[in-house]
Amino acid sequence: MIIGTKVFDFDKKVYIMGILNVTPDSFSDGGEYFNAQKALARALDMVEEGVDIIDIGGESTRPGATFVESKDELERILEPIRLLAEQVDIPISVDTYKGDVAEASIKAGASMINDIMGLQGDRRLGEVVSYYGVPICVMMNRRIMETSGDILKDLDIFLNKSLENAHAFGIKEEKIILDPGIGFGITSEQSFRLISNLSNLKKYGKPILLGASRKRIIWDTLKLKPNESLSGTLATTAIGVLNGANIIRVHDIKENVECSRIAKEILRNK
CA 97 and chain centroid, separation: 12
Strands 2-3 and 6-7: antiparallel
Is 76 designated active site? Answer: no
C-alpha distances in angstroms, 67 versus 22, 60, 199, 217? 14, 8, 33, 23
Q: Which residue in the list 107, 215, 223, 270 is annotated as catalytic?
A: 215
Measured distance between the N- and C-terminal CA atoms of the chain, rounded to whole angstroms:
25
Torsion over CA: 133, 136, 138, 144 (sign): negative
Residues 6+ apart with CB under 8 A from 171: 119, 126, 129, 130, 136
Type of residue found at 214: R
Q: Which residue in the list 13, 249, 254, 270 is annotated as catalytic?
A: 249
Is 172 designated active site? Answer: no
Selection from 38, 115, 35 nearest residue 46 by Cα: 38
Q: Which residues form the catalytic set?
A: 215, 249
